[in-house]
Amino acid sequence: MSKERTIDDAITLAKKYNVALQAVKKEKNEYKWNKLEEAEYDFRVKLTEEDKNNLKKDRKELINELNKEQLHLIVARNIQNIFIFENKKNDGATKTAPTKESAEMLNKFSELIGLLSKANGISTSQIRKFLDALRKIKTSISKDEFNPSEVLLLQVKVAYTAGRNRNLNFFYDVMKPAIEYGSRDKFHFEQLLRFVEAIVAYHRFYKGEN
């Protein structure tokens, strides 16, 4: 993985691999593009001629290449950037909320993870299990005091799921530090919840498996 790659570059690259996974077909030992424009529209990206030459490969090879890029590490190493808050005054009351920059980064990070989930054939239900667990904790927070151990134990759930499906290793690498930040207090937890909700939303947007 290039150290100079930005999150925007990573998103674009993930989109291109998804286009290839959707559109490239092997016919008589030759790879051809099938409904390329449709795939480009679905992922909001255009392939250059160089891209087309480089991405005419079978599905397994494309997935292996994409995973070797380790794009998810851009998110894992910078996850703290979505947990930045500020105090805002509204009608005399002070409210703690994520900064604009934090919200923008959450949006980009979740889009990339949604794209990687789509490329690896991860189903919405696999991610939703984790989201449902977070929502159960949110319900308990509204009734009782915030319990960080409840949040931290979710790392075990993610590790178990990734252990059963190696294609989810990238998800574990991202969620482990995200859960650590999300366990700090209720504001961090709510941002963690928003992050996972956004991943599910992007996964659906890019027509991930149900």
Q: pLDDT by residue (tens digit) across 7-64?
A: 999 999 999 999 999 999 998 889 999 999 999 999 999 999 999 999 999 999 999 9
**What pLDDT score does 142 carry?**
66
C-alpha 5/C-alpha 194 separation (Å) is 25
pLDDT at 16: 98
- Domain ranges for the chain, please list them: 1-69, 98-210
Query: What digits encode the pLDDT tens for the residues 140-170?
Result: 876 668 889 999 999 999 999 888 888 899 9
Residues of the chain above pLDDT 70, percent: 96
For the record, the structure tokens of 160 come out as 């178990």
Picking from 47, 56, 66, the residue whose alpha carbon sits closest to that of residue 24 is: 56
Task: Compute the radius of gyration of the chain from its Cα atoms.
Answer: 19
Q: HSE-up of 35 (CA within 13 Å, CB side)?
A: 8
Q: State if pTM tops 0.85.
A: yes
Residue 76, H or E segment: helix 72-77
In one-letter notation, the amino acid at residue 158 is V
CA–CA distances in Å: residue 81 to residues 1, 141, 173: 21, 24, 16
The confidence score (pLDDT) of residue 143 equals: 66
Q: 24 forms bridges with which residues in the sheet?
A: 33
pLDDT band at 2 (very low <50, low <70, confident <90, very high): very low
**Euclidean distance between the first and final Cα of the chain, in Å?**
30
Is 90 in a helix, a strand, or coil?
strand
